[in-house]
Structure 1
Amino acid sequence: MIRKRVLVVDDSAFMRKMISDIIRSSDSLECVDTARNGEDALKKIEKWKPDVITLDVEMPIKDGIQTLTEIMEQNPLPIVMLSSLTKSGADKTIEALSLGAVDVIAKPSGSISLDIKKIETEIIRKVKNAATANVKLTKKRTSERVQASYKPIQSDKPIVAIGSSTGGPRALQQVITKLPADFQAPVVIVQHMPKGFTKSLAERLDKLSLLAVKEAEDQDVIEKGKVYLAPGGKHFRIIRRGQQMVASVTREEPVNGHQPSVDVLFDSVANLKSCHPIAVVLTGMGSDGSKGIIQLKRNHPKTIAISQSEATCVVYGMPQAAEKTSLIDYVHDIDDIHTVLVQKIPKKR
């Protein structure tokens, strides 16, 4: 097996040693070098030509955002951000993901981070996944451009449910920020992301969007024209309370290795009475969401299921698994998905 070459970038000598030791413990990864800041990293990228980079957010001389921006402009590479769980760290990490970083790993708490061994499995898994990511997305369109008008659904109770993972924050931005202010459906989202980062993602989407976007809280009333993002580390369901749809946010066991889980959200929407679901599966590793699509179609045969095209996915796993159910109605490039949603949702009467 040819090992994937990894460059570890962190201003802490302790963290560089710990992370590089973890990388070297994997049979499929090789730590070729470490760098102490962005300037050092750019030189070593030229020297080693790594397959993947782990990049600290907060560094002197040239920080993670500046470094990431230069890498993505000059020669895009899969980058996994390592960030503290401070508000500043989370905000910068979400910015990094919107600029093309593949994933994020939350640094363990503590001044010296002696408990980093606790996330050894996560580091190896996310770095290995990143090595398969498509960061040089093709400009060629593989799905037909949305030009023909789609007939609006015959329902006044649509609900849009979206699932995404690796590469998802950037994809969500491309969908949510293009929806109009008078969008006549609620939007509920599961994005695989560690606890502590989803609030920053919701705040960023809220600032960039015409719709109000928030991190979902237990008992939130789900209203049309608003977007609700599952909090990291908790499952997110939609339940009925009288005539209202309400958020149920709970900490449980992971499903498909994830909490929140797309399948959990989709299953909950499938169990709603008197609604017309539109399910969207975006870029991500694994198959979370595909079982939920089956359940949605079983309970609501008129469910519209949309997946992101392979050419525009950072990782094609989740959309591919959804498509293998043979229940996907439309496959579209990320730039077109909002158009389908807008055309399918009936206008305000």
Structure 2
Amino acid sequence: MTAKLFSTLKLGGLNLPNRIAVAPMTRARTTQPGDIPNEMMAAYYAQRASAGLIVTEATQISVQGKGYSFTPGIFTKDQIEGWKLVTHAVHSAGGRIFLQLWHVGRMSHESFHPDGKPVAPSALSPYAQVWVVDPETGDGGMVDCPVPRALSAEEIKDIVKDFRNGAKNAIEAGFDGVEIHGANGYLIDQFLRRSSNRRTDEFGGSQENRIRFLRDVAQAVADEVGAERTGIRLSPYITQRNMADDEIIEVILKAARTLEEIGTAYIHLSEADWEDAPIVPDQFRRDLRAAYTGSIVVAGKYTKQRGEKILASGLADIVAYGRPFIANPDLPRRFAEDLPLADFEPSTLFGGMHKGYSDYRSYDQELGLV
């Protein structure tokens, strides 16, 4: 058995039985209208409850925070009730689960906004696409993001309140904690970078000002649900979606010191999983360790061997797996016993029903033993 991946860890108030996490993955399977979690999603997450921790798919904190069709929300009573199905199923299966809180900012489409304008720190295009379902045909596809409008300072403060309310609703829905999505070119990340933030007020300009929104959100969420139940996802080396900024590493490390002061449970590094993804230098990992004493989660094309290696180095505490968990709901067992891994079907990632979602089998089911 692999020693490090299967060692226990205390994360905030939780005792994790292993250090293998389910990474947040958008799957777009909610009930419509209303973007409501459902029994199918409950079955999907419960199948993966042997993970040390599950982090849900990104979940919008408001209508304004939505950027993709059929993604779940956490701001209506029906959505809270839908998520209760998920948390009950996961806890009944012995698992632990955090909800990822999300505001996409400019990574959105005009069809989701009454005035046709997504919002952002500044009116700058991401030159990117989001997945949108045509209401007439029911077909989903990637479409261009429009140029957003810049948020007012008062609107920014309202979004901080939306994050806080989303965290409160998540705990009401039965989650063990929340992860703030501050990565991958979404709203918090947009505030951190000069490439997307050209503001001249208290939320732009200096590095400290660009960190202010992240700090305010993290503090509000920690005040609401407890810092020990609060994590945040960051992506220092991901530059897609027009996010390149040669100051971002300095900014992320300063942000980490801010999160240290707040006392958040963990920082989750999104490291990308495509073939030519940037390499995260060990020096950055050491600098992050020096700035932040909470747990560090890593995700991005990790294998069992790479996961074991980074845990052994002491530069991470938990390894989150995305695609391997899609087709292998019993991934921890397969790692522990060196069992073969099944492949996932890319065409069923977004939208649809059980096929390519909750119909992947455990190893024993593949053998016909159960």
TM-score for both structures, normalised by structure 2:
0.26
The structure number with the bigger radius of gyration is 1
TM-score of the two chains, using structure 1 as the length reference: 0.28
Q: Which has the higher contact order (CA 8 A, sep 6+)?
A: 2
